[in-house]
């Protein structure tokens, strides 16, 4: 702070003293007025200088905390907490049961509620460094009266040599879409292929080890061992319910294009994996499957943006293909419901062998900032389904090639909010051609983890 008065007063006196002797009577008033004006002028200038000094002081005071601010890699909050609000309105036909024709349903809930308005998939995210070498991450899905642990894992940061170890419950690294949470999807629901294979996705409790090769091209190998999630059914034993191995390759083509391709192999040992059939008498039968389930999953993603700047316009193509073979024993566990008609399947147990495949492909184009449109094609093939002689006249597998065509348009007011409308022509159930409309919102609050490629 400058002492305003003490400085201004001596200045005025000195000026007055210098001027006074030479002044004639008439001039004195004029000089007095001039001095007063000068005094006024200097006072305002000094006040202005003081204000500037104060401003400068506060400005130089700012850098200190800034310099001590934590390095990037999360905000100041520890842990990072985020919340995803995702809900929808769904217009669907009134069907007693939904399934994918020619595919025995694999546990896990299919995507969100039913018809009308619903809180589809709201999630709570927690993430932080554990210590310099480890990071922890959890995502809890919230539904009425229940909290589901979607993911809860630790990950190494300090192994080096391109190695990363992850442990806990995690979304398997197989395929492209599997690791993404619904709020990052480009469509309101999972592709039929994921629904048929995993209910929605392959979530595993176990360990994952990844190695990134020291090459200039992105080349990554991963190995997972775990309980096996819905694929392994009620796997309850020592050892491993499912092994997964994958390789991923990726790179850029010029500055405009980037791509990634992957191939994964899943080898599971299902035990008492529950499924539902309709037996020859039209009675619902719960079956249990035990044996082996092996699947190949190939995935490919291509992204384009002019100059690599996705802000204005960009295009994304993705496609995945699977081929799965299952062999083992199928047994009817519960077929007693719906009297007066008796179930045909009760107590039957015999060989079960399938070889099935399917794919989806989709393109999403951002034609102007905030607006995107997309088309997705889903197609599965029920392939070979061979049941042992014990099931003759009891269970009859359906031969069918489910298909679905989806169109979507979404609008993102910011990178943290999105509204979507989706239309789908769904022919995934034999004899039913359904028009599906979905309106959806996705909002993300708080710390929002960066999205992977």
By CB under 8 A, tell whether 167 contacts other proteins: no
- Whether 173 and 187 have beta carbons less than 8 Å apart is answered as no
- Whether 122 and 148 have beta carbons less than 8 Å apart is answered as no
Q: For 68, what's the count of Cα atoms within 13 Å in the CB-facing half-sphere? A: 4
* Residue ranges in 72-101 that form contacts with other proteins under rule CB under 8 A: 72-76
By CB under 8 A, tell whether 55 contacts other proteins: no
By CB under 8 A, tell whether 453 contacts other proteins: yes
Q: Segment near other proteins (CB under 8 A), from 30-38, 118-126, 372-380, 414-422?
A: 414-422
By CB under 8 A, tell whether 372 contacts other proteins: no
Output 413-417 pairs: Cβ under 8 A, ≥24 positions apart.
413/370, 416/443, 416/444, 416/445, 416/448, 417/441, 417/442, 417/443, 417/444
User: For tokens 């384009």, what's the residue?
Assistant: 304
By CB under 8 A, tell whether 414 contacts other proteins: yes
Q: Segment near other proteins (CB under 8 A), from 86-94, 176-184, 207-215, 401-409?
A: 207-215
Output 394-398 pairs: Cβ under 8 A, ≥24 positions apart.
394/279, 394/280, 394/332, 394/344, 394/345, 394/348, 395/277, 395/279, 395/280, 395/285, 395/287, 395/330, 395/345, 395/348, 396/280, 397/102, 398/101, 398/102, 398/430
Among residues 256 and 334, whose Cβ is nearest to other proteins? 256
By CB under 8 A, tell whether 399 contacts other proteins: no
The mark string for 288-307 relative to other proteins (x by CB under 8 A, - otherwise) is ---------------x---x
Beta strands in 312-370 (DSSP E): 314-334, 349-368
Question: In which element (H, E) is residue 258 found?
Answer: strand 257-268
Among residues 388 and 446, whose Cβ is nearest to other proteins? 446
Q: Kindly give the pairing relationship between strand 146-156 and strand 134-143.
A: antiparallel
For residues 197 and 322, what is the distance between their CA atoms, to the nearest angstrom? 9
- Whether 204 and 229 have beta carbons less than 8 Å apart is answered as yes
By CB under 8 A, tell whether 393 contacts other proteins: no
Among residues 96 and 450, whose Cβ is nearest to other proteins? 450
Among residues 47 and 163, whose Cβ is nearest to other proteins? 163
- Whether 232 and 241 have beta carbons less than 8 Å apart is answered as yes
From 370, 371, 373, 411, residue interacting with other proteins (rule: CB under 8 A): 370
User: For tokens 């796997």, what's the residue?
Assistant: 235
By CB under 8 A, tell whether 210 contacts other proteins: yes
Number of shown-chain residues binding other proteins (CB under 8 A):
63
Minimum distance of other proteins from residue 126's CB (angstroms)? 15
From 81, 126, 157, 184, residue interacting with other proteins (rule: CB under 8 A): 157
For residues 339 and 316, what is the distance between their CA atoms, to the nearest angstrom? 52
From 28, 163, 338, 409, residue interacting with other proteins (rule: CB under 8 A): 163
Minimum distance of other proteins from residue 163's CB (angstroms)? 5
For residues 223 and 264, what is the distance between their CA atoms, to the nearest angstrom? 10
Phi, psi of 372 (to 5 degrees): -135, 150
By CB under 8 A, tell whether 416 contacts other proteins: yes
By CB under 8 A, tell whether 252 contacts other proteins: yes
For residues 278 and 421, what is the distance between their CA atoms, to the nearest angstrom? 34
* Residue ranges in 57-76 that form contacts with other proteins under rule CB under 8 A: 59-60, 62-63, 66-67, 69-76
Question: In which element (H, E) is residue 19 found?
Answer: helix 4-19
Structure tokens at 161: 């040599």
From 121, 135, 181, 372, residue interacting with other proteins (rule: CB under 8 A): 135
By CB under 8 A, tell whether 162 contacts other proteins: yes
Q: Segment near other proteins (CB under 8 A), from 222-230, 242-250, 282-290, 392-400?
A: 242-250
How many CB atoms within 10 Å of residue 96? 4
Minimum distance of other proteins from residue 243's CB (angstroms)? 21
By CB under 8 A, tell whether 366 contacts other proteins: no
Among residues 31 and 165, whose Cβ is nearest to other proteins? 165
By CB under 8 A, tell whether 158 contacts other proteins: yes
By CB under 8 A, tell whether 146 contacts other proteins: no
Residue 131 burial (C-beta neighbours within 10 Å; 0-12, 13-18, 19+): exposed
Minimum distance of other proteins from residue 211's CB (angstroms)? 7
Interacting residues toward other proteins by CB under 8 A = 59-60, 62-63, 66-67, 69-76, 132-133, 135, 155, 157-164, 210-219, 248-252, 255, 258-260, 303, 307-312, 369-370, 414-416, 445, 449-453
């Amino acid at each position: 702070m400058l002492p305003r008065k003490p400085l201004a007063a001596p200045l005025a006196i000195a000026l007055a003293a210098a001027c006074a002797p030479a002044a004639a009577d008439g001039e004195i008033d004029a000089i007095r007025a001039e001095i007063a004006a000068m005094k006024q002028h200097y006072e305002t200038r000094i006040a202005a200088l003081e204000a500037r000094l104060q401003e400068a002081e506060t400005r130089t005071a700012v850098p200190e905390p800034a310099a001590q601010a934590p390095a990037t890699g999360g905000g100041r909050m520890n842990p990072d907490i985020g919340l995803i609000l995702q809900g929808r309105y769904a217009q669907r036909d009134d069907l007693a049961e939904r399934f994918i024709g020619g595919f025995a349903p694999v546990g896990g809930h299919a995507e969100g509620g039913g018809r009308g308005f619903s809180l589809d998939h709201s999630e709570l995210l927690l993430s932080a460094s554990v210590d310099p070498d480890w990071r922890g991450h959890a995502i809890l899905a919230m539904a009425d009266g229940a909290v589901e642990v979607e993911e809860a894992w630790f990950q190494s940061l300090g192994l080096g040599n391109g190695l990363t170890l992850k442990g806990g419950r995690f979304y398997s690294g197989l395929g492209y879409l599997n690791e993404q949470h619904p709020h990052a999807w480009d469509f309101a629901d999972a592709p039929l292929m994921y629904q048929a294979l995993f209910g929605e996705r392959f979530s595993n409790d176990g360990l994952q080890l990844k190695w990134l090769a020291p090459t200039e091209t992105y080349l990554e190998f991963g190995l997972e061992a775990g309980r096996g999630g819905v694929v392994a059914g009620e796997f309850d034993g020592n050892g491993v319910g499912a092994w997964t191995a994958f390789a991923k390759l990726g790179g850029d083509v010029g500055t405009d294009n980037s791509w990634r391709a992957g191939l994964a192999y899943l080898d599971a040992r299902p035990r008492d994996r529950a499924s539902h059939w309709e037996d020859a008498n039209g009675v619902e039968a719960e079956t249990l499957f035990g044996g082996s389930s092996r699947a190949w999953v190939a995935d490919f993603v291509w992204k384009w943006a002019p100059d690599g700047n996705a802000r204005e316009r960009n295009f994304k193509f993705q496609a995945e293909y699977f081929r799965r073979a299952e062999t083992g024993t199928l047994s009817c566990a519960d077929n007693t419901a719906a009297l007066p008609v008796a179930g045909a399947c009760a107590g039957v147990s015999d060989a079960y062998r399938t070889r099935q495949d399917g794919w989806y492909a989709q393109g999403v184009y951002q034609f102007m900032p905030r607006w995107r449109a997309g088309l997705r094609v889903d197609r599965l093939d029920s392939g070979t389904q061979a049941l042992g002689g014990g099931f003759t006249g009891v269970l009859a597998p359906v031969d069918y090639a489910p298909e679905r065509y989806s169109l979507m348009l979404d609008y993102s007011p910011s990178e943290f909010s999105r509204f979507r409308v989706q239309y789908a022509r769904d022919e995934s159930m034999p004899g039913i051609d359904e028009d599906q409309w979905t309106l959806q919102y996705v909002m993300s609050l708080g710390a929002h983890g960066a999205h992977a490629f």
